[in-house]
Amino acid sequence: MITLHHCVSARSFRPLWLLEELALPYTLKMWPFPPRVQSRDYLALNPLGTVPLLEVEGVRLTESAACCQFLAARFSPGVLEVAAHDPAYGAYLNWLHMSDATLTFPQTLVLRYSHFEPPERQQPQVVEDYSRWFGARLRAAEAALQEADTLCAGRFTAADVAVGYALMLAELIGLSSAFGPNVAAYWQRLQARPAYQRALQAQRDAALAQGVSPQPATA
Ligand SMILES: N[C@@H](CCC(=O)N[C@@H](CS)C(=O)NCC(=O)O)C(=O)O
């Protein structure tokens, strides 16, 4: 039994999208954002108050890239994961970890200081600096996608889901003008994937069924 705790279009979208790619049965528990404030009960489940929380086979994971790595390795060895003996293993891990540590990190600063903080605490300089930082950090993906349709291993992997979410968030928070032509075309291809579309539908359906707003907190 797999349970994913999720807020609409938050980083928990990474494991949600991967669950759909893997066609695994799962329960999607929606929380209003941020659960730490909106739903104090959530702190009993995850003291960090953050999403994702992925509960699978008695294991609990709270890092979105680790969720992707775990699900791909456990349920899709050699297909959506890249095995340790594969020459592309290093690149695979690097993209997976880059997705959050390097790409989503500056995005969260942009979001916080342009959107979530009250007007008197907003920081236009932080927003401008970390928007530029995000654009600069996309250069590696722009280069990798010059010669290939996916990031590594010559095929679609969990790393594409993890990095793809950073592109989704970029679009939601107005950073997609930083996409070069290769990243922009890649993002179009990712959005056309049936599993990506199913994940969008799943979060909308679950939000409506559970009385949570289907709008992303970024809206
Ligand atoms: N590095 C973690 C970050 C998790 C995280 O901060 N999630 C955000 C949503 S995108 C959250 O739950 N924020 C609510 C809060 O900080 O209270 C990951 O990749 O999953």
Q: Which residues contact 196 (CB under 8 A, 6 or more apart)?
A: 17, 20, 164, 190
Give yes or no for residue 65 having a pLDDT over 80: yes
Coil vs helix vs strand at 109: helix
Residue 78 pLDDT level (bands cut at 50, 70, 90): confident
For residues 146 and 164, membership in a common domain is answered with yes
For residues 69 and 152, membership in a common domain is answered with no
Cβ count near 140 (within 10 Å): 16
Find out whether the beta carbon of 36 lies less than 6 Å from any atom of ligand 1.
yes
Report the CATH number at residue 133: 1.20.1050.10
Return mean pLDDT, the chain: 97
Q: Over pLDDT 70: what percentage of the chain?
A: 100
Going by C-alpha positions, the residue among 23, 10, 5, 13 that lies closest to residue 79 is 23
Give yes or no for residue 219 having a pLDDT over 80: no
Q: Which of ligand 1's atoms lies nearest the C-alpha of 52?
A: 20
Residues spanned by the domain of 109: 89-193
0.95 cut: is pTM over it? yes
Residue 207 · residue 6 · CB < 8 Å: no
Half-sphere CA count of 87, side-chain side, radius 13 A: 2
Residue located nearest, by CA, to atom 12 of ligand 1 = 50
Averaged pLDDT for residues 147-165: 98
Q: What is the pLDDT of residue 192?
A: 98
For residues 127 and 70, membership in a common domain is answered with no
Find out whether the beta carbon of 100 lies less than 6 Å from any atom of ligand 1.
yes
Asked, for residue 33, whether it belongs to a domain, the answer is yes
For residues 57 and 117, membership in a common domain is answered with no
For residues 93 and 183, membership in a common domain is answered with yes
Going by C-alpha positions, the residue among 9, 34, 5 that lies closest to residue 168 is 9
Give yes or no for residue 119 having a pLDDT over 80: yes
Distance 162 CA to ligand 1 centre (A): 14
Find out whether the beta carbon of 174 lies less than 6 Å from any atom of ligand 1.
no
Averaged pLDDT for residues 55-74: 97
